[in-house]
Amino acid sequence: MATRYWVVSLPIRSSSSILWSRLQESISKQAFDTPLYRFNIPDLRIGTLDSLLSLSDDLSKSNTFIEGVSQKIRRQIEDLERASGVESGTLTVDGVPVDTYLTRFHWDESKFPTVSPLQEIVGTIHTQVAKIEDDMKIRAAEYNTVRGQLNAINRKQTGSLAVRDLSNLVNPDDIITSDHLVTLLAIVPKYSQKDWLSSYETLTTYVVPRSSKKLNEDSEYALYTVTLFGRVADNFKTSARERGFQIREFECSTEAQENHKQEIEKLMQEQDNLRSSLLQWCYASYGEVFSSWMHFCAVRLFAESILRYGLPPSFLSTVLAPPLKSEKKVRSILEQFCGNANSIYWKSEDEVNVPGVGGEAEVYPYVSFTVNIV
């Protein structure tokens, strides 16, 4: 599938069928690797010259917006497919691949009546696409909130012993709790383990001798228990902190652990449901936005061609997909069909205000703009 198409119109000097045949012949002989298609535009309502000029001022800006929304949805689809581990599917519009929809484009009269003024059609398209963008923001935010909660839990499960959840590392048998005794959990830097073992009994009074037991360790820390009288626990914590040992608060509750497990399972199920729902919505919405975008391109090509070539409308609209190495040759072929090369050239918006490009923008004696599918 090509990813970059040119939507082009050429002035008709005699008849559209003759021009189309000549163009096909030239492309096949001089740039045979360039697919060429007709771009079917209906007889749209022209309106006044002032209305066309006013519309023209907004067309490039509107195109940037619509294209941007289509790309946002496509990126969202790619992110969701990666997260789901599913293979990327072919994006479609009305059941056909997007490139096929573009190269076989036909105007949908039921969605956009051709009797409507061009400004009204463009306004309708812009409103519909803006609503889809707003819907996506809401749906994506809901999904990302749940995903963020799970990521926070996972960080606690996989982080260092200083921050991670300890519930799956500590067994009820490791904890002593009575009227007088408590068991604390100490996070000891790996390089300080000898210091801990030689000093923990003297950090305060009433520490049970030889009560410290190592439960786990990671690349930075070791997890130890220590048992002492509850009334000196605060003193022990203060002394431990002064020596560089961290005492982690921990409640050994089978019920709490089970509730925590159920919370994670519930969040994971909710995330899966939201991701699946959002992915299906994105598939459908991408097709809707792409369809609206192609109708917009048809209006744009129609309006710019009239402003470029004059009235009555007499131009051939086409879609080409030249490989990068053939672009210069195809541009040359297209120019040959434009008569007087000294006429005022059309400036492609794709070349306007390009960062890092100095001098004047590249201009053509025909209407041309680019559609980037990805």
| Full set of structural domains in the chain with CATH | 1-43+314-374 (3.30.70), 57-89+114-165+251-312 (1.20.1460.10), 172-249 (3.30.70.100)
Q: What is d(CA 17, CA 316) in angstroms, rounded to the nearest whole number?
A: 9
The CA–CA distances, whole Å, from 358 to 78, 236, 352, 361 equal 35, 70, 10, 8
Look at phi and psi of residue 95 and say left if phi exceeds 0, alpha if psi is from -120 to 50, else beta: left
Q: Indicate the residue type of 76.
A: Q
Entry pTM: 0.77
What is the helix (H) or strand (E) element at residue 316, kind and residue range? Answer: strand 315-320
Average pLDDT per run of 10 along the chain, which is 374 residues long?
86 92 96 95 90 88 95 94 81 93 95 95 96 97 94 79 84 87 95 96 95 94 96 96 93 70 89 94 96 97 93 94 94 87 46 35 83 86
Q: What's the confidence (pLDDT) of residue 340? A: 57
Q: What's the confidence (pLDDT) of residue 284? A: 95
The neighbour count for residue 320, using CB atoms within 10 Å, is 25
